[in-house]
Amino acid sequence: MASIPNPTLAAGLEALKQGNYQDAIAHLEGVCEMELDDSIVTEASQSLVQAYPKHGQPEKAIALCQHLREHPDPQIQEWAAKTEAELITKYPVAAKSPADATGFTPLEDQASSPVNSPLKLSRKPNQTASSSSLLPVPYSPPDIPTLYTPRPRWRNCGRAQHWHALKSPKMERLWLVAIAVAIAFFWLLRVLVEFAMETINSILVELPWFRPFQLLYRDPTLALGITLAILFILSPWLMDGLLQFHGLEPLSLTKLASRHPESAKVIQKVCRKRRLPLPSLKVLPTDATVALTYGNLPRTARIVVSQGLLDQLKDDEIANIYAGQLGHIINRDFMLMSLGVLIIQIPYTIYWQIPQWAEKLKELLLVKLPGARGWLSAILLGITGTVASLSYSIYWVLSLPLLWLSRARVYYSDRIAISTTGNPNGLTRALLKIALGISEDIQISGQTSGLLESFDVLLPVGYQQAMVIGSFSPTTPFEDILKWDCTNPYRYWLIINSAHPLLGERLHLPKRYAHFLKLHAELDLPALIPASRNRAEFFSKLSNSYKALPLLQSTLIFGVIMGAALRGILWMIGKLSDMFDIWQLIWLHNANSFIDACILIAFSISVFLWINNYFPDLKPTNIGTDPDLGDYFATNATLPPDSRPVLLSGKLLGRSGLRNWLGQDLILQTSTGLVRLNYCSYLGPLGNILPQPTRVSNLVNQTVIVTGWFRRGVNPWIDIETISIEGDKPIRSYYPIWITILATVAALSGAYLISQVGA
C-alpha cells in the first residue's frame, strides 16, 4: 500500500465513508504509525478493521482485532471480540491463515521502531507510571531535564464550508459581572489608598520634626474617582507606552494580509458587519504566543499579537484569535479590563524596576563609600527587597476583582470567534498552540516574563495553565491532561483565584459546535459534570469542602460556618434566658466580640484536626521518587488535600534576586514537565522578606532535589518540604509550621476575646 505524506484520521474516515478503501487504508495505517494520541490510534484501528475486509484483506482485520482485544478499555475489548467472531464466521479461510501471512507485524517484533504502532493497544490495565506515556518503548526519561521541543501531532480536523452562526447569548450576565467587578475594584482600591494615607500620617506623627499631611485625613473617594476617569480617558496611550518597553510595533492590515490573508479578511468582515472602526493592529517581538486587546472605546481599540503567535499558528487559527479579540470589542468588556490592567501595572512596574534601580544604586554607593560595602549593601537590599515585595503584594491584591470578569468574558468571545469563522477545530488548535508557545517561552527564558504575568488577565490562555498543558503534552495526550477540567466536581470552587476558565471546560464549546456541524472534533473530551444539580448536592459539597479545598481555605470556611453556628446557638440561649429571666446568661445574645472568638477557635481546631492528613510524613515507603507527573495530572478525581509525597530532581526555573523574594516564580523543570513550587517561611509569605542565610531564589538555574507534597488543583503545585543542591545543606520550607503558628495565634486570640466578654 502506497504511503501518504500527511495522513489524517478525518481524511481516512471520509474516504471510508465514500467507499474509497485503498485511500482510507493508506490514511488510517499512516495515522496508526505516526500518531501519538492513543484515542486517535484506537479509532483509526477500528476503522481499519472495517476497511480491510472491503479491500479483500480480512486476515488483517482479524489480526488487528486480536490486538484490540488487549486494549485497556473494556468497551474496546468487547467490540474487538464481537467483531473478530463475526469476521471468523464470515471469512473462515482468512482465520486459518498464519499471522505472518497477513502482513500485520506484531508489536513485539517492532519494539525498536521509532514510530508508534499497535503497541499502544496492548498495554495492560494494571500499568500505571508508563500507561500514559505514548512514546516508543525504548524511550527512557533523561536524567537532566531538557526543553520539550517535540510537539503533539494534530488531527487537523476540518472546518465547515457553510454554517449558521451560534445563537447570541444573553449579555445580562456579563454586564452584571462587569458592574460587580467595577464596584469591588473601586472599593478595594479605595481601601488600599485610605490605608496608605493613614499609615503615612501615623508614621509622621511619631517622627520628630515632621507633621502629618492634613490632606491625607480627607475622604479620598472624589479624588480617586477623578483620577480613575482621567486614567480611563488616557488608557490606550498609556498602555501603548507600557508595551513600548516590550518592543511594541505597529502592524498594518496590508502586511498582515500578505502573510495571513484569512486573518485580515476576518477583521474586515467583523468590522463591516458590526459597523466597527478598524482597530489599530500592533505586534510584540517576542516568541511567547500572546494576544490582547485594550482601549477605552471601539475607535481607540488596539489588538496586539506577538510575533511568536504569528509564526507558530496557522492562518485559520490566527483568524480565530483575531475574531475572539474583536469579540471583546463587540461586548465592550475590554474597556473595564483595560482600566483595571492599567492600574495594576503601577505597582507591578515598581516591583519590576526596583531591582534594577537597586543594582545601579549599589554600584554607585560602593564607588563613593567603598569602606561601607558590607553593611550598606545589606541595608540597601533589605529596603529595596521589602519595597519590591510590597509592590508585588499590592499588584496581587488589586488583581483579584479582575479575575471574575476575565474568566466570564472569554466564553462570549469564543462564541463570536466560532460564529465568525465556522472553524471550531481551528479555535481549539489555536488555544492549545498558545499554551505550547507560552510553555516553551518559559522554558527557554528560564522564568516567567513580566509581560506574561502582568498582562495575564488579558491573554487568551493563562500562563500558569499553559505551563502545565504545554510542557506535558509531548508525552501525555491533551485529553488526559484536560479530563480533570471537565469532570472534577470541585473544579468550580478551586478556580476562584484563577484568571482564566479551565481550558478543558472551555474547549467543550468548539467540540459541541463541531458535532453540530457534522465535523470530527479536534479533541475527544469527556462529558461535563455540572457544578451542582440541586441544593442538596450543593450543601453536600459544602459539608465536604475540607476534602476538596487547600488547607487554609477549607479551615477558614469551616471556621466561619461552625463559628457562626455556635454564635447562633449562644444567641438563642441568650434570648431564651431573657424571656425566662435567667439573668446570668442574658449577655450571650449581644456579645458582639463572641462571634469573632467562635470563628477563631473553630478555625484553630480545624487546623489541628486536619494538618497531619494534609502533610503526611515523608517516608521511603510512601514517597514517589522522580514519578511521571503526567500520570498525576491525568487523574481526574485528585484534589489538593490528596497529598502525594514526592522526591524530584530537576532544574529550578524562575526569577532571581529581589524579584523572587516571595517565591512567586519558582518552577521545577523535571524530566516529564514543569510544575510550580510553593515555598513558605515559618512566618508565612511575608516572612520571606526577613533576612535569611540562603534564599531559594539563589538556587535558580541550578539542578536541585526537591521533597514535598504534590497537589492537583487548577494549577498543580508542590508544597516544598526541602530543596537543595546535591551535596549542600537543604533549605527547609515551613508551611506546616506557619499554619500551626497561625492556628495557635487564632486560638489564643479567641480565648482572649472570650475572657473580655465577661469582664
Strand 302-306 to 280-284 pairing: parallel
Please, are residues 15 and 41 in contact by the beta-carbon 8 Å criterion?
A: no
Q: For residues 243 and 249, what is the distance between their CA atoms, to the nearest angstrom?
A: 9
Q: Residue 723, SS3?
A: strand
Please, are residues 487 and 526 in contact by the beta-carbon 8 Å criterion?
A: yes
Please, are residues 330 and 412 in contact by the beta-carbon 8 Å criterion?
A: no
Asked whether residue 105 carries a pLDDT value surpassing 60, the answer given is: no
Q: What was the pLDDT predicted at 548?
A: 83
Please, are residues 442 and 464 in contact by the beta-carbon 8 Å criterion?
A: no
HEC assignment per residue over 129-184: CCCCCCCCCCCCCCCCCCCCCCCCCCCCCCCCCCCCCCCCCCCHHHHHHHHHHHHH
Ramachandran category for residue 56: left, alpha or beta (phi over 0 → left; psi -120 to 50 → alpha): left
Model confidence pLDDT, tens digit, residues 325-368: 999 999 999 999 999 999 999 999 999 999 888 877 877 777 77
Model confidence pLDDT, tens digit, residues 43-57: 888 999 989 988 888
What's the pLDDT band for 252 if we cut at 50, 70, 90?
very high
Q: What percent of the chain has pLDDT over 70?
A: 88
Q: What was the pLDDT predicted at 591?
A: 67
What's the pLDDT band for 446 if we cut at 50, 70, 90?
very high
Ramachandran category for residue 247: left, alpha or beta (phi over 0 → left; psi -120 to 50 → alpha): left
Q: What was the pLDDT predicted at 245?
A: 93
Q: What was the pLDDT predicted at 152?
A: 62
Higher-confidence position of 400 and 17: 400
Higher-confidence position of 550 and 94: 550
Highest mean pLDDT among 129-143, 167-181, 286-300: 286-300
Report the chain's mean pLDDT, rounded to a whole number.
84
Model confidence pLDDT, tens digit, residues 211-246: 888 888 899 999 999 999 999 999 999 999 999 999
Phi, psi of 480 (to 5 degrees): -70, -40
Q: What was the pLDDT predicted at 373?
A: 65
Q: Residue 481, SS3?
A: helix
Mean pLDDT of 741-759: 84
* Whether the model pTM is above 0.75: yes
Model confidence pLDDT, tens digit, residues 615-636: 998 888 888 888 888 888 777 8
Q: What was the pLDDT predicted at 757?
A: 66
Asked whether residue 417 carries a pLDDT value surpassing 90, the answer given is: yes
Q: What was the pLDDT predicted at 5?
A: 64
Q: What was the pLDDT predicted at 69?
A: 85
Strand 717-724 to 674-678 pairing: parallel
Mean pLDDT of 298-321: 96
Asked whether residue 125 carries a pLDDT value surpassing 50, the answer given is: no
- Please list, in sequence order, all residues whose beta carbon lies within 8 angstroms of the beta carbon of residue 183, skipping any fewer than 6 positions away: none
Q: What was the pLDDT predicted at 480?
A: 87
Model confidence pLDDT, tens digit, residues 661-680: 999 999 999 988 899 999 98
Please, are residues 462 and 499 in contact by the beta-carbon 8 Å criterion?
A: yes
Mean pLDDT of 553-567: 81
Asked whether residue 100 carries a pLDDT value surpassing 70, the answer given is: no
Q: What was the pLDDT predicted at 689?
A: 82
Min mean pLDDT across 281-285, 546-550, 640-644, 754-758 is at 754-758
Q: Residue 640, SS3?
A: coil
Burial tier of 220 (Cβ tally within 10 Å: 0-12, 13-18, 19+) = middle
